[in-house]
Amino acid sequence: MSGYFAQRCGIHDAAREEALLRTARLIEASGLELVRFVWCDLHGITRGKTLVASAAARGMREGVGMVSTLMLKDTSDRTAFKVFEPGGTVTLPGFGFANNLLLLADPDSFVQLPWADKTGWLRCQPWFQDGQPVELDTRRLLQRALARLAEAGLGMQCGLEVEFHIYRIEDETAQMDPARADWPGLPPEVSLVHPGYNLLAEGWADMAEEPMRIVQHTAQALGLPLLSLEIELGPSQVEAVFDVTDALTAADNMVLFRNAVKQALRRAGYHASFMCRPPFANIMSSGWHLHQSLVDSATGRNVFQREAPASDSTSADAQHTLSPLGENYLAGLLEHARGMTVFCTPTINGFGRFRPNALAPQSVLWGRDNRGAMLRVVGECGDAATRIENRIGEPAANPYLYLASQIHAGLDGMERRLKAPPATDAPYSDTAERLPTSLEDALAALLADTALVDAFGADFISYLTQIKQSEVLRHAQAEDKDAFQVREYFSRF
């Protein structure tokens, strides 16, 4: 058995060798011609290299080279660090001069892409050439957070509700005109697939059936646990709901789903956008509602569940529904709400969603089955599906960072045994503490949250802040702020 570079990294064992051989045989038996080695970047976008099928097994053993500046890009794809200047990457050991990293694939992640002929796909993570892991990789950050949970004998379960927009492409002339190419470029001209403002209307679902079938078939062909596709309130807005899985699988599924449906729909003449607020009048914001619970690693029991309300409690008390540990976790999410916002809503565009009476949060509050609150506690005593829904996220968020932020915040609440305030019955009250109202404010709130900085690591927070500040600065300097968001987000997210 020889895993070559993978063996040097300490991750190649008999099980990986068996998986590698099994995947190599499947690639050959399926008559594939190409295999994509894909990694999820800081912004949740998949990148990587495509190998011919005969080179895939060697790529799984030896790794696939990737320029390190891909980890240093802002949302426009500009490198936010001066990699060719002395000291330009002094805060980033192992980076510099656009050196190489190596992508190592997980052989068990292999899927055959349903929209691309004779093409396979593998999920990868980056490593330094000396075999050391790249700790700035966002998937690794979630793995570290989950390891903290595991030390406490706990695991995390997540269900995903993802809103997004689908448009029919009417004209690609501007986007593909070389005389109008820019950095970043223009999106295509589009029209609606349904006119909106008729929530869950069967007639609108029928009108949008073709693109929604593409979404359905793509998700199911990739083995994703899709439960439903729904017509949302806004024009051309839809929602996909996924069954509960463990947290790492949920994050992996979100990355795969978001990038896959954009590609599959594009080939069929549609533009899918996970931008929170597409650049049109009377549009509705899209959210990503994250349902989460903790389970006992040994038994699988939901540790948020309680069998009967706490004595002398009312429905406004957390322990009327949640276990003591569940209350501590809820209180931790509230304690670090402002600091975690940048992980849940990482784009300038996303902050336009935090508006009163819009089924989106505005303040640091929780409620029982209250869709106006930031945190919605769902379930009753004796209900194994008892959970906390965080409604702060936008669909463009990096899933690994979103979930990791929940774990670190919740664990702090558990370790400090924090108590939750009473549930709100006025989620848009002017008296409650507000969430950050801009990306710049959210970054400042994160830097002020020492517990989150320590949990993610000061090096990562410094790295993230520099990249996101590049986005903030370019937006501030843009003469046309709307045009900035069209190119920065609608064209690519």
Pair (314, 440) in one structural domain? yes
For tokens 């959970």, name the residue. 387
pLDDT in tens, 369-391: 888 899 999 999 999 999 999 99
Residue at which a domain ends, from 102, 134, 166: 134
Residue at which a domain ends, from 78, 108, 134: 134
pLDDT in tens, 88-107: 999 999 998 999 999 999 99
Pair (298, 226) in one structural domain? yes
Half-sphere exposure of 285 (CA within 13 A, CB side): 23
Whether the predicted pLDDT of 430 surpasses 90: no
Whether the predicted pLDDT of 356 surpasses 90: no
- CATH number reported for the structural domain that contains residue 99 in this entry: 3.10.20.70
User: Rounded distance, CA 443 to CA 491, Å?
Assistant: 24
- CATH number reported for the structural domain that contains residue 267 in this entry: 3.30.590.10
Give the total number of structural domains in the chain: 2
User: Rounded distance, CA 392 to CA 290, Å?
Assistant: 9
For tokens 């619970």, name the residue. 293
Q: What is the pLDDT of residue 282?
A: 92
pLDDT in tens, 65-84: 999 999 999 999 999 999 99
Mean pLDDT of 145-163: 97
Within-domain flag for 83:
yes
Pair (78, 18) in one structural domain? yes
**Partners of residue 375 on adjacent β-strands:** 366, 390
Pair (353, 465) in one structural domain? yes
Pair (393, 482) in one structural domain? yes
Collapsed DSSP state (helix, strand, coil) of residue 234: coil
Pair (126, 227) in one structural domain? no
Q: Which residues touch 333 (CB under 8 Å, ≥6 apart)? A: 340, 366, 375, 388, 390, 406, 409, 410, 413
User: Rounded distance, CA 252 to CA 246, Å?
Assistant: 10
Pair (130, 149) in one structural domain? no
Within-domain flag for 126:
yes
Within-domain flag for 139:
no
Mean pLDDT of 207-216: 98
> Measuring CA to CA, how many Å separate 442 from each of 91, 137, 198, 327?
22, 21, 34, 25
Mean pLDDT of 478-493: 93
Q: What is the pLDDT of residue 358?
A: 72
User: Rounded distance, CA 387 to CA 479, Å?
Assistant: 44
Residue at which a domain ends, from 134, 169, 202: 134
Whether the predicted pLDDT of 1 surpasses 90: no
Pair (181, 327) in one structural domain? yes
Pair (275, 363) in one structural domain? yes
Whether the predicted pLDDT of 429 surpasses 90: no
User: Rounded distance, CA 439 to CA 52, Å?
Assistant: 41
pTM of structure: 0.97
Q: What is the pLDDT of residue 359?
A: 76
Q: What is the DSSP string of 310-365?
A: PTT--TTSGGGTB-HHHHHHHHHHHHTHHHHHHHHS-STGGGGG--TTSSS--BS-
Structural domain containing residue 290? 145-490
Q: Which residues touch 259 (CB under 8 Å, ≥6 apart)? A: 45, 46
pLDDT in tens, 246-284: 999 999 999 999 999 999 999 999 999 999 999 999 999
Q: Which residues touch 235 (CB under 8 Å, ≥6 apart)? A: 192, 194, 195, 196, 197, 280, 282, 283, 284
Within-domain flag for 226:
yes
Pair (227, 295) in one structural domain? yes
Q: What is the pLDDT of residue 243?
A: 97
pLDDT in tens, 452-471: 999 999 999 999 999 999 99
Pair (181, 285) in one structural domain? yes
Termini Cα distance of the chain: 42
pLDDT higher for 214 or 360?
214
Within-domain flag for 140:
no
Pair (366, 413) in one structural domain? yes
Radius of gyration for the chain, computed over Cα atoms and rounded to the nearest angstrom: 22
Within-domain flag for 431:
yes
Q: Which of 207, 229, 231, 208 is nearest to 218 (CA)?
A: 229
For tokens 């795969």, name the residue. 256
Within-domain flag for 9:
yes
Q: What is the pLDDT of residue 259?
A: 96
Q: Which residues touch 127 (CB under 8 Å, ≥6 apart)? A: 5, 9, 63, 101, 102, 103, 104, 133, 134
